[in-house]
Amino acid sequence: MSSPASTPPTDGAAASDPGAAASRPRPALSPSRAMDFKQCPLKYRFRAIDRIPEPPSRNALRGTVVHAVLEDLYGLPAAQRQPVRAESLIVPTWARVAAEWPEVTELITDAELDGFLGEVRTLVQTYYRLEDPTRFDPESREARVEVELDDGVLLRGFVDRIDVAPTGQLRVVDYKTGRAPGPTQETRALFQLKFYALVVLRTRGIVPTQLRLIYLADEQILTYAPDEEELRRFERTLSALWEAILDAGRTGDFQPNRGWLCSYCDYKPLCPEFGGTPPPYPGWPTEGTTESPDETLADAVAE
């Protein structure tokens, strides 16, 4: 479980220590970061290189709690994974989140807490209409996955659940607390599914039988059955994307890309398109630095 971020600076005053690059984690491609660069290279820089925190949102916080409840649920013996037991996990899970990151309580006042936990409860109840958690045991929960491709591209992310059938067939499952994407957003969802399928192929040597995105807000499931040839093509796509990122990283030239999504971007105060000034470029992180996950749980649940 990763911490919701704090409010970013708005005056361009970020770390400008010449040695800062040496202490920063090595950038990697996660589904979120890859889509960031495709959407706006400057946004990628702020998130992946400068690592400027973003303010937490109610939606991301709700998603964090739901993910943690489902993770804890699958830690119980199968027979105990009944709806009433899942609901009993909600309050202690919230207490744990609030204890670890007290700043999140600024989002949810005491007067709002019952309503917020009610939203979490509704999503947990919805989950039971889509899957029966008493019928199987997942191989892993909230697994951090990482693999380096032959050309040096580092892929990294979190997978909510991996199931392995007695036949050896493998299914990757990702929970989303938002709504299923419309036709214009399906490409992003498919990109994420292919990404995780490729990671499984490269780490385990097998193609997943099924990848599944579970959208709890509107009770929809998006599935994808990949094939190896398609994943190899997708690997080449990621390599080309990474090369474009490296080119920008060498010079610090991460250009903004103005569009309708700018209205929702927390980095607008730092963006030249809106009169802002980015902080000094800290430089591309060096090899061999301490690594940390490039995609936080908040990233994953907020998509």
Q: What is the mean pLDDT of the chain?
A: 85
- The H or E element that residue 22 is part of is helix 20-23
Residue 204 token pair:
């385990």
Task: Say what the pLDDT of residue 26 is.
Answer: 66
* Per-residue pLDDT, 275: 97
SS3 197: helix
CB-CB contact of 198 with 155 (8 Å): yes
Three-state DSSP class for residue 34: helix
Q: What is the pLDDT of residues 201-260, one digit of tens each?
A: 999 999 999 999 999 999 999 998 999 999 999 999 999 999 999 999 999 999 999 999
**CA dist list (Å): 39 to 117, 127, 220:** 33, 31, 26
CA 229 vs CA 9, 188, 191, 198, 233: distances in Å: 45, 20, 15, 11, 6
Enumerate residues 6+ apart whose C-beta is below 8 A from 275. Answer: none
Per DSSP, the three-state class of 119 is helix
Q: What is the pLDDT of residues 163-209, one digit of tens each?
A: 998 888 999 999 999 998 876 676 777 888 899 999 999 999 999 99
Distances in whole angstroms, Cα of residue 239 to Cα of each of 56, 111, 235, 246: 31, 49, 6, 10
Q: Could you tell me the pLDDT band of residue 287, with boundaries at 50, 70 and 90?
A: low
Mean pLDDT of 65-90: 97
In tens, the pLDDT along 84-121 reads 999 999 999 999 999 998 888 889 989 999 999 999 99
User: How long is the chain?
Assistant: 303
Give the percent of the chain with pLDDT over 70.
84
pLDDT at 280 exceeding the cut of 80: yes
CATH class of 140-145+159-233: alpha beta
- The b/e string for 31-41 (b: 16+ C-beta within 10 A; e otherwise) is bbbbbbbebbb
pLDDT, greater one: 3 or 57: 57
Give the model's pLDDT for residue 184. Answer: 65
- pLDDT, one tens digit per residue, over 116-153 is 999 999 999 999 999 999 999 999 998 888 999 988 89
| Residues 100, 116: Cα–Cα separation, whole Å | 18
Looking at the predicted structure, is the pLDDT value of residue 14 above 90? no
At residue 95, the pLDDT reads 95
pLDDT score, position 188: 78
Token pair for residue 212? 């599944």
The rounded distance, in Å, linking the Cα atoms of 27 and 302 is 20
**Higher confidence at residue 152 or residue 280?**
280
Q: What pTM was estimated for this model as a whole?
A: 0.81
Find where tokens 């030239």 sit.
Answer: 253
Asked whether residue 289 carries a pLDDT value surpassing 60, the answer given is: no
Q: Are 91 and 98 in contact (CB under 8 A)?
A: no
Return the structure tokens found at 53. Answer: 């925190």
